[in-house]
Structure 1
């Protein structure tokens, strides 16, 4: 057993030769926390102010912002974890809670973006048939269903150990080596239901919608432009945040399983680094989701410009006063 453990440890060292995670993720978390809190705060305020004007879609946008803020509030604890050299000081229960909120944000965001896409599709392709049939009550009921489905998908992850045996100072985003094989099966099923199916629904909606927009000259130009903007935002979110994360997460789990079975592939280290980069990119969704607010409310743009102008004036004033004092 000692020899097997020694061989496993040596293979891990060879496959993951340096601490890329501790150097890469903390700066990303700091950037996402600051940007995300400001953008989501302004965006949610704008949505609440224009609730009636935005209609049913405002319910989905509000829930999207709520999912972002729930995750952003956990980032300071993860920053401490990585700054302390992968030493988790907040207890195992809170480790699992932190990872649970990450999953709620990730799959909640995908779910609500899918709902917004379906809503936009119905408004453009079937405007007369849907007029007056979808109420705020329906939107609230659908939102509750999304939260329930995401929670059911994420709940099994809460019962998986997030640290090695007899070492509660770690807080893995997946699980320890002992449970990798079962976790890989769970992760593949989770990817199918939580990501692939919503992606297929979203692509189907926009594929049909673009065909209708291109062949129908009676549709309002502003509506066309808004729909194309939302499509661009969704392409950005899926291609930058969601697709790389799901591919590399499962490949990394497969690589770790291979190490346990005594094989170190040439691509293992590249997959490990790629997975850590994808973890940074996927958390960017909390900072990029407010782009959806820009799509539905022009007020956020003006508020962001005003905020940047005030910050620039404050810095200029401080610099001028320092020069005067000297």
Structure 2
């Protein structure tokens, strides 16, 4: 093969690439291996429709859920405090999505400044790791209520839930804060990086591996441990209320979907993408770069779905929302029946 000049900019992140064409070809001089082509237009085609859909569904669902909780604030139980905070993290992230959509519609050109770029990325991290944190709290509380009901009866109050929620917000903020000190925009301020520029990518990988461990892996193990024990208890004890069993099993299904679809692929692929960028900085070219790049962009869309899927927790983690939803469906059904009966009545009057 004829040797080509090495491209120093990462072709695995469209925000950090300076390639002028849709496809970028590089070659490792030492291994004499040609890298696969990367379609940089893929995020611009894939992410905006997903973000628009998430924004509409998420804003409506979370708005309805938060409204129902606020209207019945005195009825809030211990778990509902976590559900309320879960909704706040979603709304915080959803309000930044229009700016991200504009960014991609303008061919990945950021016009809102460096500070607001960092704010949008910070809100995303608060949403992601706040959601994981509050879902973990819900899992622990369900575990205590089902496995150790006598030990915790009367000991866990709403005040405890509020204090724990504040601690979750503080912990997530502390974990996310270092991310804001990394470079988030290009020199000409036209790009808004999801991670950071290639200059700091190796250091960022080390930071994000630790973040993945503390912000995702440990909560995941706690959630799996809690619900594993809950399932065993529900199967062994026959005197547990059937409604409680059903709600617990449905909540488990929701958590499995959230972690399997939204959280696990995102963390695996983000770390792989960062590692592939580090390898490229070391002038190592491997054939799986293009696959990781595309999969990484898909995982970014999937992880945003958590803001649209989290409201499902309202249905099974809240005592208030199911009644509100049934009332809403009844009103909608009555309205449809009235509209359907009106033409019939009009035709009878004309006869």
Runs of 5+ unmatched residues, structure 1: 317-326
**Could you tell me the TM-score, scaled by structure 2's length?**
0.84
The size of the alignment, in residue pairs, is 311
The answer (yes or no) to whether the contact 1:11–1:262 under 8 Å persists in 2 is no
Does residue 235 in structure 1 map to residue 256 in structure 2?
A: yes
Determine if contact 2:10/2:281 at 8 Å carries over to the other structure: no
- Which of 206, 224, 236 lines up with 2:227 in the alignment? 206
RMSD: 2.3
What do residues 58-115 of structure 1 show as CA deviations (whole Å, max 9, x unaligned)?
1101100000000000000001100000000000000000000000000000000000
- Residue 320 of structure 1 corresponds to none
Determine whether 1:8 maps to 2:8: yes
Could you say which residue in structure 1 is the equivalent of 2:322?
Answer: 298
Closer, same or farther: CA 30–90 of 1 in aligned 2, 3 Å: same
Partner of 1:72: 94
Cα offset for 1:298?
1.1
Give the 4+ runs in structure 1 shifted more than 6 A.
Answer: 306-313
Q: Determine the structure 1 residue equivalent to 2:19.
A: none
- What TM-score, normalized to structure 1? 0.90
Structure-2 change in CA distance of 1:304 and 1:269 (3 Å) = farther
User: Of the candidates 150, 153, 159, which is equivalent to residue 137 of structure 1?
Assistant: 159
1:281 aligns with 2:318: no
Give the 3-state SS of the residue equivalent to 1:128 in structure 2: helix
Select 1:35's aligned residue among 52, 57, 65.
57
Measure, in 1, the Cα distance between the counterparts of 2:108 and 2:331: 36
Tell me the alpha carbon deviations over residues 115-163 of structure 1, each in whole angstroms, 9 at most, x when there is no partner. Answer: 0010111010111110110111110100000000000000000000012
User: Aligned pair 1:197/2:218, yes or no?
Assistant: yes
Q: Does 1:110 align with 2:129?
A: no
Residues 1-326 of structure 1 correspond to what in structure 2 (within 5 A)?
Answer: 7-9=7-9, 13-14=24-25, 16-164=38-186, 166-295=187-316, 296=318, 297-302=321-326, 305=329
Indicate conservation of the 8 Å contact 1:42/1:300, yes or no.
no
Give the distance between the partners of 2:275 and 2:84, measured in 1 at CA.
37
Contact 1:121 1:206 survives alignment (8 Å) = yes
Higher helix share: 1
Q: Tell me if the contact between 1:71 and 1:105 (Cα under 8 Å) persists in the aligned partners.
A: yes
Looking at structure 1, the residues matched to 180 and 336 of structure 2 have their Cα atoms a distance apart, in angstroms, of: 44
Structure 1 residue 258, shift from structure 2 partner: 1.2
Larger radius of gyration: 2
